[in-house]
Each structure stands twice: as structure tokens, then as C-alpha cells.
């Protein structure tokens, strides 16, 4: 049974490799196939890592472009989705960093205008109240903690894998994850809908 499963996985990665190589050769049809396949994943990562951000649409497009550009570097050692997550995450983090630097020079000292955030979330995410509430709560976390929590809880990455993605020491990532989860759990306990979601996540991670 395990042998059959492994063969299936290998076959899937071979197909992924062939698709990536075609994109690398500037095959437009292959590029459209890959973009269509990854679009929902890219959007989800961006919207959870940067909830309500005014540059979210730009980040989605930029991340997709970066994935397509890097397609020739894919080696078929994991699924295209897992491989792309690193590129997507780093693209989001770079964009947020550039935005922080830009905002530093234009801020007037006033509190950031959050009007329209809820409206943006309702338009961008149509998969139920759980996701909308979760994004609102995630937005309360600092950027660095939010990134590791999203990668761990939403996509199942280990601490070591996250450390590689965000280019930070394992202990630093572990600390960010611990503190981020602790804060989230405290906020989530006040929301019965998210309490059910948290219970399901904890069950999956056991």
C-alpha cells in the first residue's frame, strides 16, 4: 500500500516538474495553467499574512509573477504548491518591508486609517464568517508573528521549515510562534465560531 502511495506521489511531482519546465521555456499555455492552479493559494496566503492591506491585490499579482519567473528552479522534490509557498511568503514580506519604509517618511503621526478594511475583507474573502473573523484577529498580531502563525497553522509547516522561509533562527521562529499562538488563543476564546475552528486545528496538529 505504501509503495503504491509513493509511486503516486512521484508521478504527481513528475507532472509538476514537466509543467514548471514548460513555464521556464516560456510556454504561455503552461504559464496560464500554473497561474490558474496557484491563484487561490497565493490569494489566501497574501490575505492572511497582510489582512486588509491596501496593496493586497498588487502583492497577489507580484507573487504570481515571481513564481512564474522562478519556475525553472523547481526540481520536483515536493509539490508545486509547497515549493511556491516559500516564494509567495517572501514576496509578501519584502513588499510589507518596502511599504513600512515608505510609510515611515510620510506618516504624520496620526493613527492608521482602518476605514474600509471590513469592506475589503468581505469583497476579497467569500468563504464564510470564520475566515473573515480569523483575518480580523490575525491583523492584531505583529507582522513577524502573523507570518509564522499563518505558515504553521494554515499550511502545516514545521518550525524548521518556517525558519528557512523567513530566514530567521529556529529559536526565534519558535518564540514568535509560541507568543503568537498564545495571543490568538486568548482572543479566539471570546468568539464561539473561532473556538470551533481552533479545536479542529489543534486536533489536526496532534
| Lowest pLDDT segment from 48-57, 120-129, 151-160 | 120-129
Average pLDDT for residues 77-84, to the nearest whole number?
92
pLDDT of residue 23 exceeding 70, the answer is yes
183 versus 53: which is more confidently predicted?
183
pLDDT of residue 11 exceeding 70, the answer is no
Q: What is the pTM of this model?
A: 0.61
What pLDDT score does 35 carry?
94
Average pLDDT for residues 172-181, to the nearest whole number?
92
CATH code of domain 126-206 = 1.10.10.10
Average pLDDT for residues 169-182, to the nearest whole number?
92
Residues of the chain with CATH 1.10.1740.10: 1-104
Residues of the chain with CATH 1.10.10.10: 126-206
pLDDT of residue 43 exceeding 60, the answer is yes
| Lowest pLDDT segment from 69-83, 126-140, 167-181 | 126-140
Q: Is 36 helix (H, G, I), strand (E, B) or coil?
A: helix
| 1-104 classified as CATH 1.10.1740.10 | yes
Neighbours of 103 (CB within 10 A): 10
Amino acid at each position: 500500500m505504501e509503495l503504491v502511495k509513493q509511486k503516486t506521489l512521484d508521478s504527481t511531482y513528475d507532472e509538476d516538474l514537466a509543467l514548471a519546465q514548460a513555464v521556464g521555456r516560456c510556454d504561455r499555455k503552461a504559464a496560464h495553467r500554473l497561474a490558474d492552479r496557484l491563484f487561490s493559494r497565493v490569494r489566501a496566503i497574501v490575505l492572511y499574512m497582510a489582512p486588509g492591506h491596501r496593496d493586497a491585490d498588487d502583492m497577489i499579482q507580484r507573487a504570481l509573477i515571481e513564481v512564474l519567473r522562478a519556475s525553472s528552479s523547481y526540481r520536483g522534490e515536493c509539490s508545486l504548491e509547497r515549493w511556491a509557498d516559500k516564494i509567495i511568503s517572501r514576496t509578501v514580506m519584502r513588499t510589507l518591508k518596502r511599504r513600512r519604509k515608505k510609510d515611515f517618511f510620510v506618516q504624520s503621526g496620526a493613527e492608521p486609517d482602518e476605514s474600509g478594511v471590513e469592506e475589503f475583507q468581505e469583497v476579497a474573502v467569500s468563504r464564510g464568517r470564520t475566515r473573515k473573523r480569523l483575518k480580523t484577529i490575525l491583523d492584531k498580531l505583529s507582522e513577524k508573528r502573523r507570518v509564522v502563525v499563518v505558515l504553521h497553522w494554515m499550511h502545516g509547516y514545521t518550525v524548521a521549515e518556517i525558519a528557512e522561509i523567513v530566514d530567521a533562527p529556529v529559536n526565534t521562529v519558535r518564540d514568535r510562534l509560541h507568543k503568537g499562538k498564545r495571543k490568538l488563543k486568548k482572543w479566539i476564546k471570546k468568539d464561539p465560531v473561532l473556538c470551533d475552528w481552533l479545536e479542529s486545528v489543534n486536533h489536526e496538529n496532534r
